[in-house]
Structure 1
Amino acid sequence: MSSSTASAQAGSHPWFTDGEHPDPASLRLLSAAETHELLHRELAGLSVPLEGPLPAQPFVVPQRSYDELFDVARTLLALVRRAVLALGGGWPERAEALGAEPGDYPLLSGLDHTETEYCSMMARPDIVIGERGPQLLEFNVSGTFGGPNETHGLSAVWRRTHSERFFGHDPLAARVRAFEDVCASRGLPRAIAVVGSLGDLLDTADVRFQELELEQFRRRGFTADFFEPDALTEALGRPGSLRYPLGLRNFAPADWKERGISMEPVRDAQRSGMLLLPPQSSGLLANKKALALVSEGRPWMTRAERRIADRHLPWTRITLPGRTAWRGEEHELVRLVLDRPERFVLKKAIGMMGREVLVGRHTEPVDWQRAVQAAFVSGDSVVQEYVEAATCPLELTDGQSLYTAQVAPVLSPMLFGDRPGGCMARYYAAKPAAGGVVSVSAYGASENAVLTWA
């Protein structure tokens, strides 16, 4: 290993390093100003935060580590899916078993077989590297998680900034291939309606992601167009055959409900025969209680599956009164969590973007006690053992200079139809948020792509 590589990798977890390649910073072709300008120009409108220090390179990990992210994600997603399916004979029953409100799932189609077939079609876990390697903290399972456009755009930038061609799966291409599989298996024409809402976005640059998504479908022979909900009914082309037999659900029903957007046009499209993917049953796989079921262990899990869950899934339990095993001893769960706040994280079972997450070691004792007691009364949350995220070096730029910082990234490999679809990372380039939660929208975290050596 060269001295430059050794110094850059000092303090890194072995998962991030391999000793066979040079420090990516030594392969940089552009200056700080050129890199900064390229990032702003190429990423405008793709939802990538461009405030403060920006990355001057991707996260580059060994091939074994890159592949392991997708292997862990795929294996644990299959276990979560099976755990949810085992909760009942139909999706309404499964939602009830997880304590979900029926009104939160207005787009359940009633076609249980179809919902089951595609419920895990698109998924993005959040993973940190702990002492024993990848630790999966939670799953985002839907069509609305962040990452595809950002990872696609950032990866394109990094292909131009360094002399080495790094490799990364393309999330937008992987998503199109997943829909190609649906068309092939169901004999459907290649025509897709991307259903969403631009909301309050007024600057045309802010909607560049929309054209980028449509372009990927069109390159593969799809007729693809974007529709706001109020234009969807007209776009169906009735009477007669549907113009768009497939729909990409690019919105979260909870978000639309909060903004007062009617979902009736979408339900009408479903009743007319549009296959809207991913189905809303996917949201039940994102329910953190499902992850807790796998962590606790299900009777049908094999010894190998239990070992994988124990290795890559932090200890997680639903906030229900009773005794539980933790680190080889029996404990009253609520007492355990109240007495050791530094060891646990409290999360609402249904939530996103880091909202309603409390990290015990970063929470005032009175606030922790109040939140834990409320969670055990309502049974609407999970507690998860805290994982100290390992750090790695990343070259950053403010547009004038370049410097290397040690950061602790949250890694998010994406799966589309069980295919690897690229990996995004979130991290704090400067001082971490006071609450200890890594969130772009809530706490201003930065984003980057995770790549490997070509």
Structure 2
Amino acid sequence: MTSTVPPSAGTVHPWFREEGRPAPPDLRRLSGAETFELLRREMAGLSVSLPGPALPAQPFVLPRRSYEELFDVTRVLLSLVRRAVLAQGGSWPARAVALGADPDDYPLLSGQDNTETEYCAMMARADMVIGERGPQLLEFNVSGTFGGPSETHALAAVWQQTHQEAGRTPFTGSDPLIARVRAYEDVCARRRLPKAVALVGSLGDLLEDSDIRFHELALEQFRHRGFTADFFEPHQLPDALGRPGALRYPLGLRDFALPDWRERGISLEPVHQSQRSGFLLLPPQSSGLLANKKALALVSEGRPWMTRAERRVVERHLPWTRITIPGRTGWREGEHELPALLLRERERFVLKRAIGQTGREVLVGRHTSEQTWEAAVSSAFQAGDSVVQEYVEPVSCPLELTDGKKTWTAQVSPVLSPMLFNGRAGGCWARFLPDGGSGAEGRVSVGEYHATENAVLTWA
């Protein structure tokens, strides 16, 4: 995920402030050194990025109204993006073409368009910063492989050990792993399927051997709620499903990214074979089209079927976004030629590849030289493969940090990522730069720019 996050200082924005509550550092019952060691120990093997030397000594704690607003805004905007994508064609391959994507890049489309449509928005993560007007959506991650669920679950468990008020945990939040299991329970109930799920991935995707805990934690949550659940490499699938006859595992959790498997030469044929046998791999690959940033641009422009209430949500919470196609467009009460506008107002915009990840295809105008920006804008309009989004100036909030020896409070500007599973709130992940800086050219990303992770909670 990528955002535009410069340093910011000053008083705490009302969106972050809870009047009448104690400061979270006052509720910490462990020392900074104990908190530091607990984080390192409990996060080991879960692919959580705690690069150090400074780690969070507390969660991000939001007022209840702000915490719930994150999920409310995500539900509305995800629904609009889904509907905008569906309107692009009569089938999923046609929609891919309409959004400038190659259908060959979506080889796991099942061909069962109704099923794909039903579950395309089953799992989603919104990436937001907080501006003066509250949450501002930068992009959606819609699939089974986005970061955040295991990390948020584990970090929240740590914070419930480190802080107490009147002998009880003062913070709470929805749990992404439980919400994901409940989404699968919904599918089983609707389709009258036995509660059995195969987590499909590859151990070669893990950074370290110890990261197997990442999969074990997911399986544990399914089993705790009565599922038969096991992990399978793709080549194990056909035998594991038990054909011929009823499938032992009618459902699968897609826990792999196709680009990674292509790079490593892993064959998809066992997955195709399983799908032909009736194996329902969720979320379906159609979900990837909802993450295409051109869909955000369509919603930002406004669709004729949008209600006034939906337009108000878009106006307030989705920064102005347009596809890089030459022509005139409205911006800030005026009409402008889009390419000329971007060159003239470079510092007000961010250029993003429509299909991209981890900030590799993002340029922040104010952190980019004029020459580099002009070349990127020219290329984007020639290819028509990008979007431009108005820059969001985020506000900051205080967060207690520790290096294991001392603790201090810093002003940071986090990226907040509420997650939905079948519409249910499923926890909120966060990334931030401990020094309050803006990362590489204004971007915050765990994989590319070594941001630190945290969980977002609210008052119990």
Q: TM range, normalised to the smaller chain?
A: over 0.9
Change in CA separation of 1:425 and 1:201 when aligned onto 2, cut-off 3 Å:
closer
Three-state SS of the structure 2 residue aligned to 1:15 is coil
Instruction: Name which of 424, 440, 446 aligns with 1:434.
Output: 440
| Residue in 2 that maps onto 1:139 | 140
Matching of residue 364 in structure 1 with residue 365 in structure 2:
no
Matching of residue 318 in structure 1 with residue 319 in structure 2:
no
Matching of residue 25 in structure 1 with residue 30 in structure 2:
no
Q: Distance in 2 between matches of 1:12 and 1:237?
A: 58
TM (norm. structure 2) is 0.95
CA contact (8 A) 1:149 1:209 kept: yes
Q: Distance in 2 between matches of 1:107 and 1:140?
A: 18
Deviations along 1:364-390, whole A, 9 cap, x unmatched? 111111111000000000000000111
Q: Note the 1:364-383 alignment, pairs <5 A.
A: 364-383=369-388
Matching of residue 67 in structure 1 with residue 68 in structure 2:
yes
Q: Distance in 1 between matches of 2:42 and 2:281?
A: 31
Opposite residue 18 of structure 2, the aligned amino acid is: D
CA contact (8 A) 1:423 1:449 kept: yes
Change in CA separation of 1:200 and 1:292 when aligned onto 2, cut-off 3 Å:
closer
What is the Cα-based RMSD across aligned positions, in Å?
Answer: 1.1
Q: Distance in 2 between matches of 1:197 and 1:23?
A: 43
Q: Distance in 2 between matches of 1:338 and 1:203?
A: 44
TM (norm. structure 1) is 0.97
Task: Give how far 1:432 is off.
Answer: 3.0
CA contact (8 A) 2:50 2:453 kept: no
CA contact (8 A) 1:348 1:356 kept: yes
Q: Distance in 1 between matches of 2:438 and 2:347?
A: 17
Q: Distance in 2 between matches of 1:447 and 1:201?
A: 18
CA contact (8 A) 1:233 1:268 kept: yes
Q: Distance in 2 between matches of 1:20 and 1:50?
A: 31
Q: Which runs of 4+ in 1 moved over 6 A?
A: none
Q: Note the 1:118-267 alignment, pairs <5 A.
A: 118-164=119-165, 165=169, 166-199=171-204, 201=206, 203-267=208-272
Judge which range, 237-246 or 215-224, deviates more.
237-246
CA contact (8 A) 1:104 1:254 kept: no
| Residue in 2 that maps onto 1:43 | 43
Task: Give how far 1:200 is off.
Answer: 5.5
Instruction: Name which of 440, 443, 453 aligns with 2:449.
Output: 443
Q: Distance in 1 between matches of 2:149 and 2:224?
A: 17
Question: How many equivalent residue pairs?
Answer: 446
Deviations along 1:203-262, whole A, 9 cap, x unmatched? 442211110000000001101001111211221111211111000001122222222211
Three-state SS of the structure 1 residue aligned to 2:375 is helix
CA contact (8 A) 1:345 1:359 kept: yes
Identity fraction in percent: 72
Three-state SS of the structure 2 residue aligned to 1:388 is coil
Opposite residue 26 of structure 1, the aligned amino acid is: D
Q: Distance in 2 between matches of 1:201 and 1:393?
A: 33
Q: Distance in 2 between matches of 1:66 and 1:55?
A: 19
Structure 1 residue runs without a partner (length 5+): 1-8
Matching of residue 420 in structure 1 with residue 425 in structure 2:
yes
Change in CA separation of 1:203 and 1:332 when aligned onto 2, cut-off 3 Å:
closer
Task: Give how far 1:131 is off.
Answer: 1.0
Task: Give how far 1:191 is off.
Answer: 0.6
CA contact (8 A) 2:47 2:207 kept: no
Three-state SS of the structure 1 residue aligned to 2:351 is strand
CA contact (8 A) 2:120 2:284 kept: yes
| Residue in 2 that maps onto 1:3 | none
Judge which range, 165-174 or 225-234, deviates more.
225-234
Q: Distance in 2 between matches of 1:421 and 1:302?
A: 27
CA contact (8 A) 2:51 2:451 kept: no
